[in-house]
Structure 1
Amino acid sequence: MKISIEGFHKAFESRIRLGIMSALAVNDKLSFNELKEYLDLTDGNLASHLKALEKERFIGVNKSFVGRKPNTSYFTTKEGMNAFDNHLKALENLIKSRK
């Protein structure tokens, strides 16, 4: 039996990127530290995956200060949500085709 992987996006092959997009899909924005804690990742690991998603323009970044402390938060872009939704639909179609 052949399976179709049409609609899958390479950016979401990583479980970490899938986790980042899932977390951001259900939150308006999350800080770097919130994502790090939520996904149980190291700074470097999270930063590299965030950069990859940012490069694809799937997430946006807000940099600000809380008092004198820098605060970086992330959010999904419209393009990112569309790509993520299409990826999830492709996964769902693959699962349904196996029944």
Structure 2
Amino acid sequence: MTDPHPTVGLDDVVHQRTRLGVLALLNSGVTLEFGALRDTLHLTDGNLNRHLKVLTDAGLVSTERRGAGRPKTWVAITEAGRAALAAELTALRAVIAAAEPQR
């Protein structure tokens, strides 16, 4: 039996472009307001909401409503989110290495 291709190590929850972007933005330790995430990633409210639900359900980010009057939603990465992002980056590096021409 041959070793599996490195793409087998990619996590479907994390690997999706928008979710990967959210985790990458939050990984520096900042908590970002929903609108800032939306605008930075060029998304609609509904699209970002859908992806945040997937990430929240997987335990990779947390959300909190803050503020008086019109509260805003703030998003932070969890420790599980940091670990999932690190694993995804490791898998991506392996995919890149496997794609390099053999000399």
TM-score using structure 2 length: 0.85
1:91 corresponding residue in structure 2: 92
**In 2, distance between residues paired with 1:63 and 1:19?**
21
**In 1, distance between residues paired with 2:83 and 2:90?**
10
Deviation, 1:4, is: 2.4
Deviation, 1:48, is: 0.3
Q: AA paired with 2:40?
A: Y
**In 2, distance between residues paired with 1:63 and 1:14?**
25
Deviations 1:14-65, CA, capped at 9 Å, x for gaps: 2111111111113411010000111111000000000000000000112111
Contact 2:15 2:88 in 1 (8 A): no
1:44 corresponding residue in structure 2: 46
TM-score using structure 1 length: 0.89
Q: From 4, 14, 17, give the equivalent of 2:16.
A: 14
Q: Which of these two proteins has the greater Rg computed from alpha carbons? A: 2
Q: Does 1:79 align with 2:76?
A: no
Q: AA paired with 1:11?
A: V
Deviations 1:62-89, CA, capped at 9 Å, x for gaps: 2111x42201100000011101100110
Q: AA paired with 1:18?
A: L
* Runs of 4+ more than 4 Å apart: none
**In 1, distance between residues paired with 2:53 and 2:24?**
16
Q: Does 1:62 align with 2:46?
A: no
Task: Indicate the RMSD between aligned Cα atoms, in angstroms.
Answer: 1.5
Percent identical residues: 30
Number of residue pairs aligned between Structure 1 and Structure 2:
97
Q: Which has the higher strand share?
A: 1
